[in-house]
Structure 1
Amino acid sequence: MLPVTLDVPEQDARRTREALGAPARIAVVLGSGLSGLADDAADAVAIPYAELDGFPKVGAVAGHAGRLVAGTIAGERVLLFQGRAHQYQGATALQAAYPARLAAAAGCETLLVTNAAGGVREGLRPGDLVLISDHLNLMGTNPLIGWPGPDGGFPFVPMRDAYDPELRALMRATAERIGVALHDGVYAGLLGPSYETPAEVRMLRTLGADVVGMSTVPEVIAARALGLRVVGLSLVTNAAAGVGLSHEEVLEAGRQAAESMKLLATAFIEGFARIA
């Protein structure tokens, strides 16, 4: 068996760089119901995922536009992924990490991941924004399985500061400056597609999780393996996951809080442009 590679098809990397036109230091992955940021990008060039050779062909999920957008936000050239592939759709962990892998191949240095998540911690309410401080990989797999490491070295990627402390501090300061309430929390990544049972929610609380979802973790692991800095935001779509939740409720919560998420992400990109 050949070793796993984190590389992407050269055609995808070349087409992405051509769409950008100029180097982009930051890429953003937009979760369910959160694609509005890409719609506001200036000078935008869009590429449907179906036209990218390396993007997993697993079909679309409601609330995911399914395209890559190269555009300008707050004067900064940005690569935006409107939607992602999930393992519950049949993608492998390596395939689910494709946005991080393509962002690295296109020359980006930082990855902002966003997702819609269920609230596990008592007190979190639909529409709350959570700055991810750490994660629990409960998906049962890892995108680095079979990867020999950079240049055939070692595959043991440090994850102590997977979510960059400096970027998290910038996100907190940005939220305070623009008046957007922001919580801190640990994200638990589960395989899905079924939502969590009440017993599973109790388990997650015991483990120290604050929010739970079905994405993000493979992207973050691959991003760190490729040397990208990472910052992450979760939009809470419901309190106490597993109780009366539907995908329509996830999308509705996303629509209601999308403006706050968009304002925060835009202001963060503006601040990132000044310090990076």
Structure 2
Amino acid sequence: MKNNLNLQHCRESAQFITKRIEGTPKIGIILGSGLGGLVDDIEGKSIIPYSEIPHFPVSTVEGHMGELIYGFLKGSPVMAMAGRFHFYEGYDMAAVVFPIQVMKLLGVEKLIITNAAGGLNPNFEVGDLMLIEDIISRFPDNPLRGSNEEEFGPRFPDMSEPFDQKWIEQTFSKGEELGIILKRGTYLGVTGPVLETRAEIGFFRLIGGDAVGMSTVPEVIAANHIGLKVLGISVITNESIPKVAKEFTHEEVVDVAQRSGKKLVALVKEILN
């Protein structure tokens, strides 16, 4: 039987990273396509390329720097992933969620997951920020498939509230204080790398999706398994609504994410504690 989690590899990666940083990260941040601007605001940075970390995958997607950054945001010790790993890149689920499990061993207790997503909800506009309240998985695999490591979490973790409700409300309030309008909704995860057909867009909306993307869902599952508090934020980079859907490219997605990044950076800096 395949075991998706290699605990020894996690420990070896964590030991390597510990030697390269001074301190203990308490908050992990995953930066999606075009959202790496937050890195500029991290103080006292220690930057570790993924390629140097034992057992780490290497990001291959445009807009993902492929670096692990430790430092401080408004005094809070954070570990940021500038670039994530996707199922569509050819990685299995074990590789996709591996960095989150390593973060747990490093001391991370809370995780902020960001992504660039297509808007399914007709009330969403390009550039909106959506607080993710729930997820729908359209992936053919699950990161917890295989034998379970009880040291990390239970065989059957509860996913009735995958995101921390108190943190969501705090973030919504901070958004109001900053003048940032936040939407709320359900993120639907697909494998990619193809963009959705019109029929798929209609189906995804019908089953409850407000935004669609090719990441996040496996990471949320893994984070809940190991007991991290999770907050998810999507940047709506295009409108995937059947009546208005048009052709768009990954480059356009990255461009919108970068332009909306200032709002995201301002928000994240206020919700770390």
Aligned: 1:252 with 2:255: yes
Quick check: 1:164–1:231 contact (8 Å CA) kept in 2?
A: yes
Change in 2 beyond 3 A, CA 1:264/1:129: same
Give a deviation string over 1:129-177, Cα, whole Å, max 9, x none: 0000000011111000003241598511100111011111111111111
Paired letter, 1:45: S
Quick check: 2:28–2:103 contact (8 Å CA) kept in 1?
A: yes
Aligned: 1:261 with 2:250: no
Shift of 1:183: 0.4
Paired letter, 2:110: T
Change in 2 beyond 3 A, CA 1:83/1:46: same
Quick check: 2:42–2:71 contact (8 Å CA) kept in 1?
A: yes
Aligned: 1:131 with 2:131: yes
SS of equivalent residue, structure 2 residue 29: strand
Change in 2 beyond 3 A, CA 1:149/1:156: farther
TM-score between the two structures when normalised by the length of structure 1 = 0.93
Shift of 1:101: 1.0
Aligned to 1:168: 168
Aligned to 2:146: 146
The unaligned stretches of length 5 or more in structure 2 are none
Give a deviation string over 1:108-137, Cα, whole Å, max 9, x none: 001100000000110211110000000001
**What is the count of residue pairs matched by the alignment?**
269
Aligned to 1:54: 55
Aligned to 2:222: 222
CA distance in 2 between counterparts of 1:16 and 1:49 reads 10
Change in 2 beyond 3 A, CA 1:265/1:210: same
**Percent of matched pairs sharing the same residue:** 35
Consecutive aligned runs of 4 or more in structure 1 exceeding 3 Å deviation: 1-4, 151-154
The unaligned stretches of length 5 or more in structure 1 are none
Aligned: 1:155 with 2:158: no
CA distance in 2 between counterparts of 1:111 and 1:94 reads 18
CA distance in 1 between counterparts of 2:3 and 2:13 reads 21
Paired letter, 1:260: K
SS of equivalent residue, structure 1 residue 150: coil
Aligned: 1:189 with 2:189: yes
Shift of 1:11: 2.9
Change in 2 beyond 3 A, CA 1:55/1:153: closer
SS of equivalent residue, structure 1 residue 9: helix
CA distance in 1 between counterparts of 2:203 and 2:96 reads 25
